[in-house]
Amino acid sequence: MNWSDSTILLTGGTGSFGKAFTRLALKELNPKKLIIFSRDELKQHEMKINEGFDHPSLRYFIGDVRDQSRLQRAMHGVDLVIHAAALKHVPACEYNPFEAVKTNILGAKNIVSAALDEGVRRVLALSTDKAVNPINLYGATKLVAEKVFVQGNSYRTSDEANFSCVRYGNVVGSRGSVIPLFQKQRETGTITLTDERMTRFWITLDQGVRFVIKCIEQMHGGEVFVPKIPSMKMTDLADVIAPGCERKCIGIRPGEKLHEALLSKDEARHTVELNDMFVIQPEDPAWRYTEWEGSIPEEGYCYTSDRNNVWLTGDELRAYVMGSGVEVVGSTQ
């Protein structure tokens, strides 16, 4: 992958991941052109003017992933697409199911179709742990989107048109994170937890961006890449963000799991384990692809946040949170 000679299209480019990727790409990858594709002209303006994302290689393209013709225009001459656009707020997706389907599922289909028509060489989509055994609409739409991207490889007529996904857990400091809620609640002296047993996978924005870059460089088409990342207890996060505050348990919300999964037992049967990640291979590919070399998980293995062998301590979690730019009470930095 020759980054300096590549034109990149980044959907959802004004979001948390989009900004983090853009910042790192301009600093370390030096792409020939990086196109920020999103539907909100105000966020694009703020990103360029107020947040300093003004660079000769940057282009700002207004459009919606629901519009395939607009995507085709945006992908003309593009070598790589990173698909980060999605409706991801769980309650909003539950209340507006048709909108979630249009953006997360039909949008994925439009990305695949436009990329095939425009001869894009590589397409990588961002997914979520909520796509594994989904119990809410958001997770279900992301599961379908994964299937669309993986099987999109069967439509390609060239070895250059490859579609893959990355799947990881909660991102420290991203929009919609529980951290801002805890920050606001600590002013009252009481924070709410849905269940004190709850665990989650945790990854920083920088780690997520670097993992995406690594997967783009190694993808053959059809893989779902899962990083090995630590787990954390929600009670430990509460202690870091709001030490000394009273905890009030309000019960698990509709569509919420006690623990999340990044790899199911059924997926593990066609998964290769590497030192730092799992590679879920397509079960019955209709296209040529390269087998991954690594170990096969034992029968019945699943990768869940409560059965992880790597856990964040309070100090490590504090470092993660501070590294994301979030204020931690009692910190001297």
Write out the two tokens for 138: 């958001």
Enter the tokens of residue 157.
């007529």
Strand ranges (E), the chain:
7-11, 33-38, 58-62, 80-83, 122-128, 162-168, 170-172, 190-193, 199-204, 224-227, 231-233, 246-249, 261-263, 271-273, 277-280, 303-304
Residue 53 amino acid letter: F
149 and 108 Cβ atoms separated by less than 8 Å: yes
Query: Residue 130 catalytic?
Result: yes
The span from the CA of 132 to the CA of 171, in Å, is 17
Residues contacting 124, CB < 8 A, separation 6+: 80, 81, 82, 83, 163, 164, 165, 166, 212, 215, 216, 219
Rounded to whole angstroms, the Cα distance separating 114 from 76 reads 9
Q: Please state the φ and ψ torsions of residue 117, each to the nearest 5 degrees.
A: -65, -30
Please provide the DSSP assignment of 85-109 as one string.
-----HHHHHH-HHHHIIIIIIHHH
Q: Which of 19, 43, 130, 257 is catalytic?
A: 130
- Unique residue bearing structure tokens 């953006």: 103
Q: How far apart are the C-alpha atoms of 197 and 180, rounded to whole Å?
A: 21
**Sole residue written with tokens 């594994």:** 132
The Cβ-side half-sphere exposure at 174, using a 13 Å CA radius, reads 23
The two structure tokens encoding residue 72:
């085709």
Q: How many CB atoms lie within 10 A of CB 213?
A: 19
Active site residues: 130
